[in-house]
Amino acid sequence: MTKRIQKPTAERLSEINEKLEDGTPQEILLWAHQEIGNDLALMSSFGLEDMALLDMFWRITPDARVMTLDTQRLPTETYTLFDQASARYGIKVEAFYPDMDEVRAMVEEHGYNLFYKGVDNRKMCCGVRKVEPLGRALDSVNGWITGLRRDQGMERGGIDIVEWDAAHDSYKISPLADWTFEQVEAYIAEFSVPYNELHDRGFPSLGCDPCTRAVEPGEDIRAGRWWWETDPDAKECGLHLVAPASK
Ligand code: SF4
């Protein structure tokens, strides 16, 4: 798609963020909808944050676009939620899949469960199954909504609500940047939003089935992601690191 939006100046981005910093997630979504229109999509992993955002976005526009990356290694419960969300909100989830030739080549050389054999292998798998499809998905939008929250730590602590994603020539909008996990849970309960049943079994953060485990009470909420890796700073799949978003 030919991008129909221009990169905002640094001054303009600052103005936007100043205006939205104290806004509610709904006000931020409304701004994004008015600014970007139908070339805006929620990029959803169908985790708790993304389900809250889907509900908010749908209340602003029933034409809310929802995209997901189907890595082909997701838990069965996540696929069940795809269907539940489609039925509840009357939406068609736009799923993006890995290039199966790339998957075949990777698996033939490194094995199906290559991610357990080192961080480089794991990042290769995330690259093939997530990062490359994300690029294709974002080719068709001018703005993407994410469920990132600042208190998730690592690089997420410094995100702005609205950033310019230079890698994809798109706005990147994080309406829940200032929310806590407890606020997300409260929203889900208040509006009876459907959610992944794995959350009730100790999975606060969800990803691919072989790379996610339940966490113990009191553990960091992302401790169950790539739990066998010891470097906490490496615990990102690359979706939010492919190119630093310019602020
Ligand atoms: S989370 Fe695991 S299975 Fe999923 S793409 Fe990354 S390494 Fe592969």
Q: What's the pLDDT at 244?
A: 43
Question: Residue 246 above 60 pLDDT?
Answer: no
Q: How many domains in the chain?
A: 1
0.85 exceeded by pTM: yes
Of all residues in the chain, the percent with pLDDT exceeding 70 is 91
- In angstroms, the CA 234 to CA 229 distance is 8
What are the tens digits of pLDDT across the range 48-99?
999 999 999 999 999 999 999 999 999 999 999 999 999 999 999 999 999 9
Q: Is 49 helix (H, G, I), strand (E, B) or coil?
A: helix
The CATH number that applies at residue 74 is 3.40.50.620
pLDDT digits (tens, 9 = 90+) for 56-65: 999 999 999 9
Residue 22 carries which DSSP code?
T
Residue 173 lies in a domain: yes
For range 175-195, the mean pLDDT? 96
Residue 227 lies inside a defined structural domain of this protein:
no
Pocket mutation for ligand 1, best pick of 100, 102, 237, 242 (most atoms within 8 Å of C-beta)? 237
Q: Which residues constitute the domain of residue 80?
A: 10-197
Residue 148 lies in a domain: yes
Residue 46 scores a pLDDT above 90? yes
Per-residue confidence at 238, pLDDT binned at 50, 70, 90? low
Atom of ligand 1 minimally distant from the CA of 121: 7
Determine, yes or no, domain membership for 130: yes
Distance of CA 54 from the midpoint of ligand 1 (Å):
24
Exposure string over 40-66, b if 16+ CB within 10 A, otherwise e:
bbbbbbbbbbbbbbbbbbbeeeeebbb
Residue 138 belongs to some domain of the structure: yes
User: Mean pLDDT of all residues in the chain?
Assistant: 91
Domain annotation covers residue 230: no
Q: What is the mean pLDDT of residues 7-23?
A: 95
pLDDT at position 223 over 90: no
